[in-house]
Amino acid sequence: MTKKNESSGPKVTRTASSVLRDGGASKTAKSLAGSALAQARTTKSSTATTARTAAKALNDGRTRASTKTLAGSVLTQRPGTRK
């Protein structure tokens, strides 16, 4: 696997902060928000479990836009395989 040099940007970190403060946010949204914040200003990458959670959130038609933003960020920070 190759190392990704991506990190959560200001828009994503603001969204993550808002989701974590929202008492009505889902467990999935809060999990993705925590992951996105942990990846801010660092080269940490998403785990396979977090990436699967993000992919499920993106494919679920009931997912809020803020959760989809976080899911996209988390997936962007997942290392890929080099061919």
Q: Which 3 state secondary structure label does DSSP give 40?
A: strand
pLDDT per position as a tens digit, 25-49: 999 999 999 999 998 888 888 899 9
Report CA 64 to chain centroid distance, whole Å.
13
The alpha-carbon radius of gyration of the chain (Å, integer) is 12
Distance CA 16, CA 7 (A): 13
Asked whether residue 24 carries a pLDDT value surpassing 80, the answer given is: yes
- Report residue 52 as tokens: 């699967």
Distance CA 15, CA 37 (A): 10
CB burial of residue 23 (10 Å; 0-12, 13-18, 19+): exposed
- Predicted structure pTM score: 0.84
